[in-house]
Amino acid sequence: MTRAVVTVFRIAVIAGAAFFFAHPVSAATNGPAVIMQSDPASGITAIDLWFRAPGDGYTGDQPGIARLAAVAVAATPDRHGSSLAERIRGMGGRFSVSVYPDITGVQAVVPADDAAQALAALRAAYFSPVITSATLRAARRDLAIGVVEQRLVPELAIRAALTSLLYASGPAHDPPIPGDPSLLTGPSVADVTAFAKRAFRPENTVIAMAGDVTATATTAAGRIAGDGGDAPFDSTPAAAPVTRTVAASVNGIGLGWIGPPIADEKAATAMDFIADTLFRPETGVVAKTVRRMGLDAEVDGQFVTTHGPGALLVTISGPDAEKAAAIATKEIAALRAPMDAARFAPARAIFIYHVHADAQTPPEMADDLGWYAAEGAAAYAPGLPGGSYDRIAEALDPATVASVAARYLGTPFVVHLVAERKGGVS
């Protein structure tokens, strides 16, 4: 993917961020941070707005409120009668909302000629949020779909149960999409509006753009910089690993480990390497072993990098999940001793390739830029030319990986999801 020019106008907004580039800076205050990565040949532009905001509300007792707010704002008609989501679609574009325990992102992908207009529409909608009872109803319907998906897609269900186990308190303890549909009747229009006005204020925003950003650069640079964003919403890890069985709609096993925070870039990159080498579907060692043994199981795993302590989450589903979990545990244990050079070199090459392959499209790159900036380390975004991630990944060695594995990957947190049947849990 083309990454010809990297222009970062100013991103020193969110407290605690380790900011890097210093390119043209507008002196205006109380505006969003703006990060751009230009690829004029792509012909499309991805525009992300990322906000630091807890998924279950500022008091921790409003499950799903961040998603409700982000969706309701996008559903509210403007004075011409069309909503933000409709306007983006009307440009031939795509709009999506992504909510995580500590941050929320919205994304519009549009033809480059419409990018300036799309950015203006996003700013107008989110920086002056309006929510009505009708649009909150639409948001509840949207959230209800998310609730169903989270219950029925094994990977999502396992992740939700696992993170609740890994974190004793804080936003990560409760999934950003509630598991209980009855909670959908919770927050009122006033509650959601109040949340939106705090979460979506300009100074709490990172605007990340990738693709052909030529037409939007001037518009985006109009209001830049200023402090006043919220501090990170970190979660507190559980004191000790536990194993728990949870009644659910699907069967599955989750293995989890608390890892380093984003500030420890070397350790975080090593955890990414471990996740990629062992657990990436198709190419991971565990997935390959499962296939070679003829087992019927799906294995996936990744390290989720956050401002606070991150987590390695491994999800396993299918009839042979127990056997696959045993393979996963064995492979993790083996990593505590340094890999031999003949095995490590190709594994690192594969990992570095995956880093770039996963960040090659404008939507992927905008997500990376926005996520890492919101989590406090914009220069560490994977795939960013000149960023620290590539440098650290290239320098990874067996000893570093082994020491990180020894430090973080001890006894796992384990969750067994057991599908409910009539008459109780089977």
Partner 1 sequence: MIAVRFRVLRLLAGVALAASLPLGAMAAPPASDLAPPVITVHADPAASLTGVEFFIPAGRDRQRLREDGLAALTAAALVRTPVTVTVAGETQRLPLDEAIAAHGGSLEETVEGERVRLYVETLPRAMPQALDLLHDALANPDFSPAAIARARAVLERRFERDQSDALRIGTQMLDRAWVQDSGAGMLPYGTPASLAWLDAADVRSFFERSYRRAGTIASAVGAFDDADRAALQQVLDALRPGSAAPVRFSAPTLTARSRQLIAYRAIGAPWMVVRYAAPSLRDPDAPAMFVLAALLQESLRRASPLPATVSTAIVDRAIGTIYTFDDRHPSLDLFVDGGLGEPERLFETTLTLASVLDRLSLTGSLDGFERIAAGDLLLAGDGSLQSQAWWYAVLASQGLPADERQILAARIRTVTPVELQRVARRYLARPILALVLPRNVPAAQN
Positions in 341-360 near partner 1 (CB under 8 A): 341-346, 349-350, 352-353, 355-358, 360
Instruction: Give the helix/strand (H/E) hosting 267.
Output: helix 265-279
Supply the minimum distance, in Å, between the C-beta of residue 196 and partner 1: 14
Selected range binding partner 1 among 25-33, 177-185, 220-228, 361-369, rule: CB under 8 A: 361-369
Tokens representing 139? 């948001």
Residue 153 to residue 77: CA distance in whole angstroms: 32
Establish if 410 lies at the interface with partner 1 (CB under 8 A). Answer: no
152 binds partner 1 (CB under 8 A): no
Element (H, E) at 255: strand 252-258
Tell which positions 253-272 bind partner 1, by CB under 8 A.
Answer: 272
Q: How far is the CB of 190 from partner 1 (least distance, A)?
A: 21
Span interacting with partner 1, options 27-35, 105-113, 325-333, 418-426, rule CB under 8 A: 105-113
Contacting partner 1 (CB under 8 A), which of 85, 119, 213, 286? 85
**399 in contact with partner 1 (CB under 8 A):** no
Q: Which is nearer to partner 1, 31 or 277 (CB)?
A: 277
By CB under 8 A, tell whether 361 contacts partner 1.
Answer: yes
Nearer to partner 1, 114 or 320 (CB): 114
DSSP labels for 226-240?
Answer: ---PPPP---EEPSS
Residue 98 makes contact with partner 1 by CB under 8 A: yes
Beta bridge partners of 45: 110, 211
DSSP letter assigned to residue 73: H
Q: For partner 1, give the closer residue by CB, 140 or 223.
A: 140
Which range, of 52-60, 125-133, 221-229, 302-310, touches partner 1 by CB under 8 A?
Answer: 302-310
Considering the rule CB under 8 A, would residue 94 count as an interface residue with partner 1?
A: yes
Three-state secondary-structure class, residue 89 = helix
CA 201 to chain centre: 20
Q: SS3 of 420, please?
A: strand
300 near 282, Cβ under 8 Å? no
198 lies in the site for partner 1, by CB under 8 A? no
Query: Distance between CA atoms of 53 and 106, rounded to whole angstroms?
Result: 13
Smallest distance from the beta carbon of 327 to partner 1, in angstroms? 19
Strands 243-248 and 413-421: parallel
Residue 173 CA to residue 167 CA, distance in Å, equals 5
DSSP 140-188: HHHHHHHHHHHHHSHHHHHHHHHHHHHEEESGGGS-SS-S-GGGGG-S-
Considering only 219, 283, 329, 403, the residue that binds partner 1 (CB under 8 A) is 283
Residue 248 C-beta: closest distance to partner 1, Å: 17
Contact 280, 354 (CB under 8 A): yes
- How far does Cα 87 stand from its chain's mean position? 25
To the nearest whole angstrom, how small is the minimum distance from the Cβ of residue 71 to partner 1? Answer: 5
Give yes or no for residue 274 binding partner 1 (CB under 8 A). Answer: no
Of 8, 34, 97, 335, the one binding partner 1 (CB under 8 A) is 97
Interaction with partner 1 in 15-74: which residues (CB under 8 A)? Answer: 39, 41-44, 71, 74
Closer residue to partner 1, CB minimum distance, 38 or 205: 38
Tokens linked to 137:
């109803």
Q: Residue 2 or 30: which CB sits closer to partner 1?
A: 2
Stretch that binds partner 1, among 20-28, 155-163, 250-258, 417-425 (CB under 8 A): 155-163
**Rounded to whole angstroms, how far apart are CA atoms 88 and 47?**
11
Total of residues contacting partner 1 (CB under 8 A): 74
Looking at residue 152, its amino acid is L
